[in-house]
């Protein structure tokens, strides 16, 4: 039977701020191991189905997704772009309709891009068990046996026993309070809702049409108006933005009469908080998880992560301390589920630390804003071998480039020059220019911008190999 994995790579991962941010959320970061969580989700799939995958992500994450797919050697993965997040029911509908448009009615294995699975072999066996029911027209949800009274997850109630240790789906319940969560744990007939599913594309579309025809209609129009753009499938923006936002749980799974629960016992975590991340990591003899340049004395049961500088902890217990280049979080472990309230305060204050990191990734490489003042900004720019920034012009700023590693091919007005290590060039205000790395090693340079306005939206693109039209480098 044909199985197509559908990787849900949307979401902002607010509860893992300051590491996770809108433009580089947790699924695209290496939180556990050298690969990102998105890459790990693809790599844990069986070789026979991995290359069939469909990725659903927000348009603003498209280059992150494409680069990370290529980074693990996959070239046939489809990437469907959402112009705006509309929750899981519409996203899965896009994947199902795309599959059906190819005259296929496969089993869709719906996975989140930011989950941890520790037992790969058992995970594969669970997929086989779910496929047994999916092939019979059932809609399978993967349920995780609770280990404690968790209030951060939704729960699934199991019904009558079936083959392969599965159960009829008796119902979904919302995230409970502590007392209710304890009662679920004591009763023993509830699972955590993993947010992972398996069913035939046609079954999902039929059930969605039965219960939420408005969502289905908007998604059908979105796919009908979709266009291919480089590595991506862009759905019709107007149609998709008109689609109601709804989860698959509310839209379909709570109403369907063909629901089945298959237990998932392969070591699952949604890494939905800093304590969940700490629980997934090896601890020292004092119960600490320490990462980066950290010195901890008389400290216990704490998570301390340093990204760019020395972080020290002395005489503290049960804390989460996370340092990034431009923000530091200090929180009690019992408060980590409330970090979203801090992010809300950043939004209200008009700040940007919840949106982007100091180091920003682009399809051609990255830049780090290392210093800024009233009329100047200094960036460290890294350009990948063979990559090129857009041919562009700025109305309000001049730029001075000093190459510190590699060779730069620079278009400066009508002139094209090579700039090597310890050499520099100057780009006046209003000058058409471009920057390219013609070499085989990364190009690194220091850029000094000066002028009355230094915003990323001060840019006019004349040519761009990545098909971009939004502001920025």
**Residue at token pair 């669970």:** 126
Over residues 39-70, the pLDDT tens digits come to 999 999 999 999 999 999 999 999 999 999 99
Model confidence band, residue 469 (pLDDT cutoffs 50, 70, 90): low
Task: Name the residue among 184, 187, 197, 192 with its Cα closest to residue 259.
Answer: 197
- Is the pTM here over 0.85, yes or no? yes
Q: Are residues 186 and 293 in the same domain?
A: no
Is residue 133 in some structural domain?
yes
**Residue at token pair 């804390």:** 319
The per-residue pLDDT for 259 is 97
Q: Are residues 63 and 191 in the same domain?
A: yes
Is residue 53 in some structural domain?
yes
Is residue 122 in some structural domain?
yes
Task: Name the residue among 203, 317, 201, 182 with its Cα closest to residue 256.
Answer: 203
Q: Are residues 311 and 435 in the same domain?
A: no
What is the overall mean pLDDT for the chain? 94
Q: How many CB atoms lie within 10 A of CB 469?
A: 7
Question: Number of structural domains, the chain?
Answer: 3
The per-residue pLDDT for 305 is 97
**Average pLDDT of span 448-462:** 94
Measure the CA angle with vertex 65, ends 219 and 14; round to 5°: 80
User: Does the pLDDT value for residue 230 go beyond 80?
Assistant: no
The pair of three-digit structure tokens given for residue 355, joined into one six-digit string: 């949106």
The per-residue pLDDT for 152 is 83
The per-residue pLDDT for 229 is 84
Q: Are residues 84 and 215 in the same domain?
A: yes
Model confidence band, residue 144 (pLDDT cutoffs 50, 70, 90): very high
User: Does the pLDDT value for residue 336 go beyond 60?
Assistant: yes
| Secondary structure (DSSP) of 24-80 | B-GGGS-SSSSS-HHHHHHHTS-HHHHTT-EEEEEGGGHHHHHHHHHHTT--S-EEE
- Any idea what the CATH number is for the domain that residue 413 is in? 2.60.120.10
Is residue 473 in some structural domain?
no
Last residue of a domain, one of 269, 289, 318: 269
* Percent of the chain with pLDDT strictly greater than 70: 99
User: Does the pLDDT value for residue 471 go beyond 70?
Assistant: no
Over residues 163-211, the pLDDT tens digits come to 999 999 999 888 888 999 999 999 989 999 999 999 999 999 999 999 9
Is residue 353 in some structural domain?
no
Whether the Cβ atoms of residue 191 and residue 261 lie closer than 8 Å to each other: yes
User: Does the pLDDT value for residue 322 go beyond 80?
Assistant: yes
**Average pLDDT of span 400-416:** 97
| Secondary structure (DSSP) of 307-357 | SSS-EEEES-BSEEEEE-SS-EEEEEGGGGGGHHHHHHHHHHTT-STTT--
Q: Are residues 166 and 118 in the same domain?
A: yes
Q: Are residues 279 and 310 in the same domain?
A: yes
Is residue 419 in some structural domain?
yes
Last residue of a domain, one of 269, 286, 311: 269
Model confidence band, residue 470 (pLDDT cutoffs 50, 70, 90): low
For the CA atoms of 262, 265, 267, 271, the dihedral, rounded to the nearest 10 degrees, stands at 30
Distance separating alpha carbons of residues 437 and 468, to the nearest angstrom = 19
Distance separating alpha carbons of residues 470 and 473, to the nearest angstrom = 9
220 Cβ contact partners less than 8 Å away, ≥ 6 residues apart: 97
The per-residue pLDDT for 467 is 76
Partners of 110 in beta bridges: 6, 197
Q: Are residues 427 and 447 in the same domain?
A: yes
- Any idea what the CATH number is for the domain that residue 155 is in? 3.90.550.10
Domain range spanning residue 369?
359-463
Q: Are residues 139 and 25 in the same domain?
A: yes
The per-residue pLDDT for 103 is 81
336 Cβ contact partners less than 8 Å away, ≥ 6 residues apart: 15, 273, 274, 275, 320
Is residue 471 in some structural domain?
no
User: Does the pLDDT value for residue 465 go beyond 90?
Assistant: no
Q: How many CB atoms lie within 10 A of CB 376?
A: 13
Q: Are residues 121 and 247 in the same domain?
A: yes
Over residues 256-312, the pLDDT tens digits come to 999 999 999 999 999 999 999 999 999 999 999 999 999 999 999 999 999 999 999
Whether the Cβ atoms of residue 54 and residue 80 lie closer than 8 Å to each other: yes
Last residue of a domain, one of 347, 370, 403: 347
Q: Are residues 41 and 117 in the same domain?
A: yes
Task: Name the residue among 10, 14, 2 with its Cα closest to residue 329.
Answer: 14
Is residue 405 in some structural domain?
yes
Over residues 89-109, the pLDDT tens digits come to 999 999 999 999 988 899 999
Whether the Cβ atoms of residue 176 and residue 151 lie closer than 8 Å to each other: yes
Q: Are residues 137 and 216 in the same domain?
A: yes
The per-residue pLDDT for 203 is 98
Task: Name the residue among 44, 48, 47 with its Cα closest to residue 113.
Answer: 44
The per-residue pLDDT for 218 is 98
Whether the Cβ atoms of residue 40 and residue 17 lie closer than 8 Å to each other: no
Q: Are residues 135 and 32 in the same domain?
A: yes
5 Cβ contact partners less than 8 Å away, ≥ 6 residues apart: 42, 45, 49, 50, 52, 53, 54, 108, 109, 111
Model confidence band, residue 239 (pLDDT cutoffs 50, 70, 90): very high
């Amino acid at each position: 039977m044909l199985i197509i994995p559908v990787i849900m790579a949307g979401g902002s991962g607010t509860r893992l701020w300051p590491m996770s941010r809108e433009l580089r959320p947790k699924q695209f970061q290496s939180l556990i191991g050298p690969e990102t969580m998105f890459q790990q989700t693809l790599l844990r799939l069986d070789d026979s189905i991995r290359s069939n995958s469909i990725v659903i992500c927000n348009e603003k994450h498209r280059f992150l997704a494409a680069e990370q797919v290529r980074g693990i050697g996959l070239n046939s993965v489809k990437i469907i772009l959402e112009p705006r997040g509309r929750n899981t029911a519409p996203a899965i509908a896009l994947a199902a309709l795309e599959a059906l448009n190819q005259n296929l009615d496969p089993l869709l294995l719906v996975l989140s891009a930011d989950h941890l699975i520790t037992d790969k072999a058992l995970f594969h066996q669970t997929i086989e068990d779910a496929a047994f029911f999916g092939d019979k027209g059932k809609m399978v949800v993967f349920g995780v046996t609770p280990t404690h009274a968790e209030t951060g997850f939704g729960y699934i109630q199991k019904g009558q026993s079936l083959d392969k240790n599965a159960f009829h789906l008796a119902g979904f319940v919302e995230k409970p309070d502590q007392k209710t969560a304890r009662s679920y744990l004591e009763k023993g007939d509830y699972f955590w809702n993993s947010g992972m599913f398996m069913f035939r594309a046609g079954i999902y579309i039929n059930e969605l049409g039965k219960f939420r025809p408005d969502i289905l209609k908007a998604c059908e129009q979105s796919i009908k108006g979709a266009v291919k753009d480089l590595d991506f499938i862009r759905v019709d923006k107007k149609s998709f933005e008109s689609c109601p936002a709804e989860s698959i749980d509310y839209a379909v799974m709570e109403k369907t009469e063909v629901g089945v629960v298959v237990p998932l016992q392969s070591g699952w975590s949604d890494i939905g908080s800093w304590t969940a991340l700490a629980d997934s990591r090896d601890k020292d003899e004092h119960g600490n998880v320490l990462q980066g340049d950290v010195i901890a004395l008389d400290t216990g049961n704490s998570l301390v992560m340093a990204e760019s500088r020395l972080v020290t902890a002395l005489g503290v217990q049960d804390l989460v301390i996370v340092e990034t280049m431009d923000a530091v979080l200090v929180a009690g472990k019992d408060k980590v589920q409330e970090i979203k309230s801090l992010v809300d305060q950043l939004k209200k204050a008009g700040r940007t630390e919840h949106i982007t990191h100091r180091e920003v990734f682009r399809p051609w490489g990255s830049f780090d804003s290392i210093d800024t003042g009233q009329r100047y900004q200094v960036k460290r720019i890294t350009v990948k071998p063979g990559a090129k920034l857009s041919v562009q012009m700025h109305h309000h700023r001049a730029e001075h480039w000093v190459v510190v590693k590699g060779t730069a091919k620079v278009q400066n007005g009508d002139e094209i020059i090579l700039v090597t290590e310890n050499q520099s060039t100057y780009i006046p205000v209003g000058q058409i220019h471009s920057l390219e790395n013609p070499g085989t090693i990364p190009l690194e340079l220091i850029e000094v911008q000066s002028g009355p306005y230094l915003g990323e939206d001060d840019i006019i693109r004349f040519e761009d190999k990545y098909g971009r039209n939004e502001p920025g480098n």
